């Protein structure tokens, strides 16, 4: 079985300060992990993905995430928040040998940027 | 540059009405999906399809059916809408294999309100 837990339902940071969105996963086998972003009234867009290559993954818009097997975590970070980062973020896990109907979505973290 | 198009952004229906939500993708993807998005619950898979005329139940298929007569089009049908089906519905498509495997492209969503 696989599952994913986003530890914070809401995160607020000031513009220009670092962003940390936390995600822990549970998987019996080697997982693939993703972060998607959803801006207001828009569909989900892929930010980045980890598929057993480099453990530090760089994505779009300055975001990156580090796969830590020992901690079963895949936290999303950005050094300096921008107003345009305000959105909802979803962590997603799938066992590597499964088809994409087996994607498991976290419950989401809403990121608010304070001017 | 729109790749997954959902026919209706907002719909308001009455209890018992039949509802059609349509989705079209222009990327020649084999796989198409319908998700439901509710606050605090993340995305839940309703149905998916691997090929034309194929359909598979997801995690919450009750009260829904689907149709895939052409590769590019995947329709979600609510035979008799109920108030607990008030939600945001997201369509997505993806490839079976290759470098894009398990990466989904989402439509902008259809917000359905059942009165």
Residue A93 pLDDT > 70, yes or no?
yes
Compute the distance between CA of residue A63 and CA of residue B60 in angstroms, rounded to an integer.
32
Give me the total of CB pairs closer than 8 Å, taking one residue from chain A and one from chain B. 60
| A107 interaction partners in chain B (CB closer than 8 Å) | 40-42
A94 touches chain B (CB under 8 A): yes
Compute the distance between CA of residue B67 and CA of residue B22 in angstroms, rounded to an integer.
9
Residue A111: pLDDT band (50, 70, 90) is: very high
| A99 interaction partners in chain B (CB closer than 8 Å) | 31, 50, 96, 102
B77: closest CA among B87, B62, B66?
B66
Answer whether A11's CB lies under 8 Å from A108's CB.
no
Name every residue whose Cβ is closer than 8 Å to that of residue A66 and which is 6 or more positions away in sequence.
A55, A56, A57, A73, A74, A75, A77
Q: What are phi and psi of B36, to 5 degrees?
A: -115, 135
| A44 interaction partners in chain B (CB closer than 8 Å) | 43, 90, 92, 104, 106
User: Tens digits of per-residue pLDDT, B18-69?
Assistant: 999 999 999 999 899 999 999 888 899 999 998 899 999 998 999 999 999 9
């Amino acid at each position: 079985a696989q599952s994913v837990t986003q530890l914070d339902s809401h995160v607020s940071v000031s513009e220009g300060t670092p962003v940390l969105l936390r995600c822990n996963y549970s998987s019996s086998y080697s997982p693939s992990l993703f972060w998607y972003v959803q801006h207001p009234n828009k569909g989900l867009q892929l930010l980045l993905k980890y598929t057993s290559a480099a453990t530090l993954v760089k994505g779009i818009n300055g975001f990156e995430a580090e796969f830590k097997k020992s901690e079963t975590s895949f936290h999303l970070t950005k050094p300096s928040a921008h107003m345009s980062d305000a959105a909802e973020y979803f962590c997603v896990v799938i066992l590597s040998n499964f088809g994409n109907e087996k994607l498991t979505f976290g419950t989401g973290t809403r990121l608010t940027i304070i001017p | 540059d729109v790749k997954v198009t959902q026919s209706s952004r907002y719909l308001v229906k009455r209890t018992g009405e039949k509802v059609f939500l349509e989705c079209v993708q222009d990327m020649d993807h084999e796989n198409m999906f319908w998700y439901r998005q509710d606050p605090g619950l993340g995305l839940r898979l309703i149905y998916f399809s691997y090929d034309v005329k194929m359909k598979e139940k997801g995690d919450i298929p009750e009260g829904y059916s689907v149709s895939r007569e052409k590769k590019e089009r995947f329709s979600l049908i609510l035979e008799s809408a109920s108030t607990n089906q008030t939600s945001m519905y997201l369509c997505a498509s993806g490839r079976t294999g290759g470098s894009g495997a398990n990466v989904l492209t989402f439509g902008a969503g259809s917000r359905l309100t059942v009165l």
